[in-house]
Structure 1
């Protein structure tokens, strides 16, 4: 599959999806949005892919929606978008909407945030399972400074990561947050010098791909994203059911076997 506004490649069982409009700091367009979705579906369907990395070309991650697009929306008096067919029709309805589908991808998605991350770009970063950032990265919700509101689920994702009060601050002020503050808030998980970001992200992703059962990763991701909609009792029921299935899986047998034999695992995802 060829792409116009992103780059897609697979190495060491890791799919790297790169937003590729560097002259515009990878500002988001409808074309880019569709291509990211296509790339995610491609990675989902590829048994050779076990982890996905989302990053940006050049010096930015994503500067938010393309301002020319916002101008045309303003002139037209509104926005009309048609939802795509769900990535996974069996996933929760919460994860079947146009821009909330990352949790329905049954593989870990790591955001490698190499520079400015704003607005819609930040929405997608928050839907990733982990966020690693360059020390030069800067974050802003931006919406309130454009006369907009907390879009695309950010009023749900952001408080889950950094708490209600801090999320209120970032959403209402639209102020810029540097990487060190983002790390303190819990907005990102790790920060690196710019030159070390992708090598470090890839080393971590490769370790997940090689040492963790893809079946375990799939189930754990589903548990983590669905737990906020469950009571503890419901989460325990899911865990008990999934543990029983895990104990019958090929990956569990291999997990025990490779540990006893002191060799690298050969997980199949089954």
Structure 2
């Protein structure tokens, strides 16, 4: 079994270990685990990955999520065995609506991608669906769709322009070219580039900092605000924000944060309720 090195005391696996999960410091680290094929995705693996995300979101002990790949790749896309079987097999590969890559956007908890190697196809959609992205200096990223005679899949044509702007999005989607981590950082596709040996630790440290110091209710609300406001008119977004502000002023988390600051201690925010 390939595992991710960490200080985790608990590791579980699903779908014949094609998806691994371990927990540390309030963080669920989910690892795509078919390293021999750069973590290329089968249909059952897509289902298992979605299940791991939902389980982490439902677990009160988990406050942030990190997604990465085993071995030298993040996710090279759909398994070539599926693509070679023809149109019907490819249609059957598409996950159910609730398991599509945008699931990460619908979670209450922040999702951080640790991009350790090649990314393409559905792997690009998984990466793009995360809230924050770290990349190894050796990572390579491609949409790949146009070079396979396909369209911009899994909602990437909606999300990518919102992340990096229309010009950069059109360049990546129309060309299907491969970019390196440096270019990904320059166009805003990744948050930070690290040395390969530092990647997972940096991503987990970021997630653990959120877990230790930020209100889970605030994280859930802010994530929902940011993604939701992309579709709301400005006036509606402002009204929504004011309503949320009013509710937060009387919340337990504000009182706890102020008490913790006065007492010079780490706040003890309540976890999100299980789903």
Name the TM-score, length of structure 1 as normaliser.
0.92
Partner of residue 92, structure 1: none
Q: Which runs of 5+ in 1 are unaligned?
A: 87-96
Instruction: Choose which of 12, 24, 30 in structure 2 pairs with 1:17.
Output: 30
Q: 1:82 to 1:141 in 2, by over 3 A?
A: closer
How far, CA to CA, are the matches of 2:80 and 2:46 in structure 1? 15
Instruction: Choose which of 169, 172, 175 in structure 2 pairs with 1:173.
Output: 175
How far, CA to CA, are the matches of 1:65 and 1:110 in structure 2? 21
Name the TM-score, length of structure 2 as normaliser.
0.90
SS state of the match for residue 230, structure 2? helix
1:150-161 matches, within 5 Å, as 150-161=152-163
Contact 1:135 1:179 in 2 (8 A): yes
1:1-270 matches, within 5 Å, as 2-3=13-14, 4=16, 5-74=18-87, 76=88, 79-80=91-92, 84=96, 86=98, 98-269=100-271
The count of corresponding residues between Structure 1 and Structure 2 is: 259
Cα RMSD over matched residues? 1.6
Q: 1:244 to 1:32 in 2, by over 3 A?
A: same
How far, CA to CA, are the matches of 2:102 and 2:19 in structure 1? 19
In the TM superposition, what whole-angstrom CA distance separates every residue of 1:223-259 from its partner, at most 9, and x where no partner exists? 0110111011111111111111111211111111111
Q: Which runs of 5+ in 2 are unaligned?
A: 1-11
In the TM superposition, what whole-angstrom CA distance separates every residue of 1:158-190 from its partner, at most 9, and x where no partner exists? 111111111111111111100000000001010
SS state of the match for residue 128, structure 2? helix
Contact 1:179 1:191 in 2 (8 A): yes
How far, CA to CA, are the matches of 1:175 and 1:84 in structure 2? 28
Contact 1:251 1:269 in 2 (8 A): no
Q: 1:85 to 1:133 in 2, by over 3 A?
A: closer
Partner of residue 7, structure 2: none
